[in-house]
Amino acid sequence: MKKVAGVALLTLLSAWTLVAAGDEITVPLRFDRYYLPVEINDALKALHKAYPELTVLEEVGRSDEGRSLYAMTVNNPKTGAPLEKPGIYVDGNIHGNEIQGGDISLYLLDYLLGGYGHNKEITELVDRICFYVVPVVNVDGRYHFMTDPNTASSNRSLRIPTDDDRDGLVDEDFPDDIDGDGNICQMRKKDPFGRLKTDSEDARLMIPVKPGEKGEWSLLGHEGLDNDGDGRVNEDSEGYVDPNRNWGFDWAPPYVQQGSGEYPFSGTGMKALAEWIMIKSNICVGWSFHNYGGMYLRGPSRKGLGEFPPQDISVYDFIGRQAERITPGYRYLIGWKDLYTTYGDSVEWLTQIMGAYGYVAEVFQAQAETFRGNAEKPAPPEEERPGMAMLEEGITDRERIRFNDHLAQGELFKPWTPFKHPTYGDIEIGGWVKMSSRLSAPFMIKDLVHRNAMVVIFSAKHLPEVELEVTEIKAVGKNLFRVRTRLANPRAVPTMSYLAQKVKLYPKDMLKVSGAGAKVVAGGLLTDPYRDQVTYKKNNPETQFLVVPGFGKVEHQFLIEGKGELEVSYESRHGGKRTKTAVLE
């Protein structure tokens, strides 16, 4: 009874979230429902087929259950190879139940590819930078969340069998869909000593009893049976290895960080994805889309790592505050400080190992599902029932149930229904269904995916755009010339993060001056062009190492003997390549 038949499941979900199985995926994509796992792959293939000149679709690896993990690269090869341009990385659905990230990623791809050649800004952006997009990181988790009966918050983990209850067996006591409706809802039982009573405003809801007041109900937890006969219900479901605690930077064992796994990258798919990302050395900014809370989070992931350099914080703040404007109601926050500490976090790995600026987006706001007039005030917190703590400040089940009634026509909440339980006897099953609580209603999907994709595009526009100029060639002696260069970056993101510079994560940018008939006798950083103040480099003056800041410039001065053609070349891991030629005469 753990799963319902496929036909029953499609009947349950089709009106609210999905189209019927077998519908052909065509371009442009639709965003009026959530995509099934197989549809995600079909959509990627359809995009690649429609835009083969701009896309590369590849299998990054396989999951723990053998499913394909796909990534799509969007790049115009006519304007350069991917690694010769700044890159941006986007992923979603690292937790199995947090499915919106997959749809945001598809929308981003569909928008970029569909807009190329039609929208001037999108065309210029795709010509200038490279996008790496992994719509679904936890492919097993998305499959089981959407296919199996679940709560809104279950089936988050990797499918690595784990003995959660330490009885020598693994994954033997999942929640059970005991009424066969495709959801894992709540069980409640009449109990005069219970801590809950029926809400006088809506009999479907329960509220806490006051001290000395007679109770009416006890909650028994989520639907389930004692499958292994150990006297407990639902205590050993899918092996809990959290894919966002399993990465190889600042990993901690399970007694420190729940769900971290036996060792870093013990998840087959996580290891394959990390190896794939490591090759993409041009990634400047990374986004990972989760669900719930309406937040854009930056690191560090724990206080002990220390704060980022102030110059990096300026970059984070610039993008984060614009993200708040693009998505009203979302808050730009610091992970450990404003939410909670994590170890083995994927975005922290991207920041600390790849030298990228990284954000976690927690999409969906419960307040979007309120049902209140302008003059109505939120109900006080004590009116909220246990087990459904205030989703966001001032948001109550009373408001959500009205949203369910008037905007979802009852599809988010299962009415309480009597059931004869083999252990608990006469109980009732009901409450919020799987496709609720953390998931936007279908009519709201387009707004959610569009706004979050626009946040990514805004940050992509601010990847480094380095301009190389030879600003002066001046004869200062016999066969001796003064040559000045300028590297300017009108975008917010520098060519190397200050954190990466601090820990010497990889080599800085390189500026090189050469010529068959020329010899560089001196060269260095031009600190004051008006007073001719230069910090000359002692050895190998023809090669300078530097970082071009965001919204800034770097100037150099060279003294060069000789005549003829001179080549000035710039090469950067994140800033791309540039070359200029000049003539000494």
The model's pLDDT over 20-71, given as tens digits with 9 standing for 90+, comes to 455 789 999 999 999 999 999 999 999 999 999 999 999 999 999 999 999 9
CATH, residue 509: 2.60.40.10
**Based on the domain organization, do 140 and 13 belong to the same domain?**
yes
d(CA 547, CA 33): 45
Residue at 274 is within a domain: no
Domain that holds residue 102: 6-59+73-147+280-364+441-461
pLDDT at 385: 43
Examine the domain organization and report whether 306 and 284 are in the same domain.
Answer: yes
* pLDDT tens for each residue of 297-333: 999 999 999 999 999 999 999 999 999 999 999 999 9
Q: How confident is the model at residue 376 (pLDDT cuts 50, 70, 90)?
A: confident
pLDDT band at 228 (very low <50, low <70, confident <90, very high): confident
Residues 476 and 575 in one domain: yes
Is 243 a member of any domain? no
| Domain match, 143 and 35 both | yes
**Total tally of structural domains belonging to the chain:** 3
- Cβ 569 vs Cβ 579: under 8 Å: yes
Q: What is the pLDDT of residues 484-543, one digit of tens each?
A: 999 999 999 999 999 999 999 999 999 999 999 999 999 999 999 999 999 999 999 999
Confidence of residue 379 (pLDDT cuts 50, 70, 90): low
Cα(98)–Cα(30) distance, rounded to whole angstroms? 19
pLDDT at residue 378, as a whole number: 63
Q: What is the mean pLDDT of residues 409-436?
A: 95
Task: Look at residue 384 and tell me whether its pLDDT is greater than 70.
Answer: no
Q: What is the pLDDT of residue 383?
A: 46
Q: Which residues are CB-neighbours of 90 under 8 A, at least 6 positions away?
A: 105, 108, 131, 132, 133, 134, 286, 287, 288, 289, 456
Cα–Cα distances in angstroms (integers) from residue 336 to residues 61, 94, 246, 298, 358, in the given order: 31, 19, 17, 9, 14
Q: CATH number of the domain at 454, please.
A: 3.40.630.10
Q: Tell whether 561 and 488 lie within a shared domain.
A: yes
The DSSP symbol for 236 reads B
* 428 & 452 share domain: no
* pLDDT for 393: 55
Sheet holding 196-199, edge to edge: 202-208, 196-199, 217-222, 186-190, 425-432, 413-421
Quote the mean pLDDT of the chain: 92
DSSP state of 354: H
Q: Is residue 275 a part of any domain in this protein?
A: no
Q: Would you say residue 253 lies in a domain?
A: no
1 within a domain of the structure (yes/no): no
Mean of pLDDT values over 362-378: 83
Residue 545: inside a domain: yes
Assess whether 120 and 47 both reside in one domain: yes
User: Is pLDDT at 17 greater than 80 in this prediction?
Assistant: no
Q: Same domain for 175 and 210?
A: yes
Phi and psi at 139, nearest 5°, equal -70, -35
**Same domain for 167 and 137:** no
264 in any annotated domain: no
* Domain assignment of residue 244, yes or no: no
116-151: per-residue pLDDT in tens? 999 999 999 999 999 999 999 999 999 999 999 999
CB 132 within 8 A of CB 463: no
Looking at the structure, do residues 169 and 79 belong to the same domain, yes or no? no
Burial of 508 (0-12, 13-18, 19+ CB in 10 A): middle
Across the strands, what pairs with 535? 525
| Model pLDDT, residue 375 | 80
**Pair (180, 214) in one structural domain:** yes
**Residue 330 and residue 449 in one domain:** yes
| DSSP symbols for 468-492 | EEEEEEEEEETTEEEEEEEEEE-SS
**Burial of 516 (C-beta count, 10 Å sphere; 0-12/13-18/19+):** exposed
Cis amide bond preceding 28, omega within 30: yes
Q: Looking at residue 374, what is its pLDDT?
A: 79
Q: What is the DSSP letter of 150?
A: B
Pick from 50-64, 206-220, 299-313, 389-403: least confident:
389-403
